[in-house]
Structure 1
């Protein structure tokens, strides 16, 4: 009977210790979750540049659009809207209608909008179909010639040019248009 009482007390103490340790671990996990979430928010709020920043000059390039028109840095005149897209990028597909609507209304029409799709012809066919009516479209490879000229480091990437100089750039289209109209 005494042994049974001691066993019950020891088992009870072990359960209580286990419960206290479990609550400690849960509290620590919550703290870590909050720290990780804050780090994600901070990084999203201030990521590195997605492409050349305002004031930078576009590098040299010479490419051909999907409809056979040659385009080089020398052809970048006036105010021009540029966008870089990848078919594997969910944000690219999500923001495509907004970009297309702005491209359609951009001063200078289709010739003043340059869209770059990164991938094979088969992979980029749907994006190309959406973009061709409102812009000149260039198909590029990952870190290809035109992507390097604009120092693109992710997708989507948007820019507004004044000649061959970047006026504004961002990976959020609304912020791009807000910074130019401000």
Structure 2
């Protein structure tokens, strides 16, 4: 009988310790949720400045890069108002936004000569390059390569419209950039 009493008391003590630890974990998760919500609320809300590249109005630094088909390109190679997309094969949102970028680029006036797609990560990803090469001039470079440095890219995906060498629109989300591109093309056209 004394063994049974000691066992029940020990079991009760362990249950109480487990309950305290569980309450501590739940409290910490609530704090982290609050911190995460606070960080998200401080994120840029301006669709014309998504925070993953140089800000709107900034001048793009000069660059030269080799394309996957062996040509050397610079910003001037893409006309007055190029659409530019930066992708990384290790980035899940990049894969989600790739089909929309390809669809829009395919119907863009001027075709692939007005669209630059940069695949970051060195060797690139054959799927990304294959999908993009049909509708854009594709550059594969290591992360923080010369094109990314010229545009101040700090995250992926990153989408931009450039007018006369300056950033017109930039965002990590594709929709605001494409809306602006479509609106300007409609007004011009």
Task: Give TM-score scaled by structure 2 length.
Answer: 0.77
**How far apart are 1:115 and its partner, in Å?**
0.4
2:31 corresponds to which of 35, 38, 46: 35
* Alignment-derived partner of residue 174 in structure 2: 173
CA deviations over 1:25-76 (Å, ceiling 9, x no partner): 2122112112223434444551782111211111110123223433223335
Select the structure of larger CA radius of gyration.
Answer: 1
Given the superposition, is the C-alpha separation of residues 166 and 34 from structure 1 closer, same or farther in structure 2, using an over 3 Å criterion? same
**How far apart are 1:17 and its partner, in Å?**
4.5
Distance 1:76 1:31 in 2: 53
What is the root-mean-square deviation of aligned Cα atoms in Å? 2.8
In the alignment, is the contact (CA less than 8 A) between 2:156 and 2:172 conserved in 1? yes
Structure 1 segments unaligned to the other structure (5+ residues): none
Task: Give TM-score scaled by structure 1 length.
Answer: 0.79
Structure 2 segments unaligned to the other structure (5+ residues): 45-49, 184-189
In the alignment, is the contact (CA less than 8 A) between 2:51 and 2:171 conserved in 1? yes
Count of aligned positions: 176
* Alignment-derived partner of residue 116 in structure 1: 118
* Alignment-derived partner of residue 74 in structure 2: 72
In the alignment, is the contact (CA less than 8 A) between 1:157 and 1:170 conserved in 2? yes
Distance 1:116 1:124 in 2: 11
Q: Where does structure 1 differ by over 6 angstroms across 4 or more consecutive aligned residues?
A: none
Structure-to-structure mapping, 1:54-73, within 5 angstroms: 54-73=56-75
1:103 corresponds to which of 98, 102, 105: 105
34-43 or 76-85: which moved more? 34-43
In the alignment, is the contact (CA less than 8 A) between 1:76 and 1:164 conserved in 2? no
**How far apart are 1:22 and its partner, in Å?**
2.7
